[in-house]
């Protein structure tokens, strides 16, 4: 079985970033879990705020570095890309990550 982020299965350790941001840019990621599994989605290098779940604003816009997505759930997160580098963005279930559910976000 393979897993994807943005339709791409990441294999090995080198792949093109799915997002390249200018330092200081605000990124809003609108994520859909189009599977029947739970996925704890983890971003390295930044903390983000969870803005909405299934189109409904979250009560506290909580600060997190991982957001647990339920099957078929849609989640919006936002953060200021203020930490230069190539940052892993991946499912924290390591079986899923190892099977490709991993991407890179680049901050210049
Ligand atoms: Cu997963």
CA 96–ligand 1 middle distance (angstroms): 5
How far is the centre of ligand 1, averaged over its atoms, from the C-alpha of 88 (Å)? Answer: 14
Rounded Cα gap, residues 48 and 98, in angstroms: 24
Cα of 28 vs centre of ligand 1, distance in Å, is: 20
Measured in Å, residue 84 CA sits from the centre of ligand 1 at 26
- Tokens 């190539």 correspond to what residue? 86
* Distance of CA 98 from the midpoint of ligand 1 (Å): 10
Q: What is the pLDDT of residues 33-42, one digit of tens each?
A: 999 999 999 9
Check residue 12 and give its pLDDT.
59
Each residue's pLDDT tens digit, 53-64:
999 999 999 999
Domain ranges of the chain: 17-107
Superfamily of domain 17-107: Cupredoxins -  blue copper proteins (2.60.40.420)
């Amino acid at each position: 079985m393979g897993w994807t982020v943005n339709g791409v299965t990441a294999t090995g350790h080198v792949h093109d970033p799915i997002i390249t941001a200018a330092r200081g840019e605000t990124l809003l990621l609108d994520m859909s879990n189009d599977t029947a599994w739970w996925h704890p989605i983890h971003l390295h290098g930044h903390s983000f705020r969870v803005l909405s779940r299934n189109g409904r604003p979250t009560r506290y816009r909580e600060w997190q570095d991982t957001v647990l997505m339920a099957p078929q759930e849609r989640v919006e997160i936002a953060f200021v890309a203020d930490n230069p580098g190539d940052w892993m963005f991946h499912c924290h279930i390591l079986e899923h990550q190892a099977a490709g559910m991993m991407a890179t976000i680049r901050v210049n």
